[in-house]
Structure 1
Amino acid sequence: MDSRTVTSITTGDGVRIAYRFDGEQDKPVLLLSNSIGTDLHMWDGQVPALTEHFRLLRYDARGHGGSDVPSGPYSLDRLGRDVVELLDALDLERVHVLGLSLGGIVAQWLGIHVPERVDRLVLSNTAAYLGPPQQWERPIAELLEAPDMRATADMFLHNWFPARMLQADSEVVEGFRRTLLATQREGVAGSWAAVRDYDLRRTATLICAPTLVIAGEHDTVTSAGHGKELAAAIPGARFTVLPTVHMANVERPAEFLDAVMAFLDERP
Structure 2
Amino acid sequence: MSVIRINGRSIHYTDTLQGDVALVFSHGLLMDRSMFDAQVEALREHYRVITWDQRGHGQAGPNREPFSLWDSADDLAALLDHLDIPQAVLVGMSQGGYVSLRAALRYPEKVQALVLIATQAGLDAPGQQQLYAQLLDAWMNYSLTDALAQTVAGFILGDDPALAAPWISKWKALDTTTLALNFKALAERDDLLPQLARLQQPALVIWGDADRAISQDKAQQLKAGLAHSQFSSVAGAAHAVNMTHAERVNADIRRFLSEAVT
Tell me the TM-score normalised to structure 1 length: 0.87
Tell me the residue number matched to 2:201. Answer: 209
* Helix, strand or coil at the partner of 1:20: strand
5 Å matches for 1:1-268? 6-12=1-7, 14-22=8-16, 24-131=17-124, 135=130, 137-148=133-144, 153-163=149-159, 165-166=160-161, 170=162, 172-198=163-189, 199-243=191-235, 244-267=237-260
**Structure 2 residue aligned with 1:3:** none
Query: Which protein has the bigger helix share?
Result: 2
Answer whether contact 1:72 1:186 (CA < 8 A) is retained.
no
Please report how far the alpha carbon of residue 72 of structure 1 lies from its aligned counterpart in structure 2 after TM superposition: 4.5
Q: Is the CA contact (8 Å cut-off) linking 2:155 and 2:238 kept in structure 1?
A: yes
Aligned-partner residue type, residue 4 of structure 2: I
1:213 Cα deviation (Å)? 0.6
What is the RMSD computed on CA atoms of the aligned residues?
2.1
Q: Which amino acid aligns with 1:195?
A: L
Once the 2 structures are TM-superposed, how far is the Cα of residue 253 of structure 1 from its aligned partner? 1.1
Q: How many residues align?
A: 256
Q: Which moved more, 1:88-97 or 1:173-182?
A: 173-182
Partner deviation per Cα, 1:150-196 (whole Å, 9 max, x = no partner): 56532321102333x23xxx2x3322222323333333322221221
| Residues in 1 aligned to 2:199 and 2:247: alpha-carbon distance in whole angstroms | 28
Are residues 148 and 174 of structure 1, via their aligned partners in 2, closer, same or farther at CA, if it must alter by over 3 Å? closer
Taking the aligned partners of 2:55 and 2:118, their CA distance within structure 1 comes to 20
SS at match of 1:80: helix
Greater mean alpha carbon deviation, residues 50-59 or residues 151-160:
151-160
Letter of the 2:149 counterpart: A
Distance 2:252 2:145 in 1: 34
Give me the whole-angstrom Cα distance separating, in 2, the residues matched to 1:47 and 1:176: 19
1:92 is matched by which residue type in structure 2?
I
Q: Which runs of 5+ in 1 are unaligned?
A: 1-5
For the residue of structure 2 that corresponds to 1:99, the secondary structure is: strand
> CA–CA distance in 2 between the matches of 1:223 and 1:132?
10
Q: 1:96 to 1:152 in 2, by over 3 A?
A: farther
Query: Is residue 19–residue 60 contact of structure 1 (8 Å, CA) maintained in 2?
Result: yes
Deviations 1:96-154 (A, max 9, x none): 11110101111111121111111111000001123357635554444333434756532
Identity level (%)? 27
- Contact 2:201-2:228 at 8 Å conserved across structures: no
Unaligned 5+ segments in structure 2 are: none
Shift of 1:234: 1.0
SS in 2 for 1:66: helix
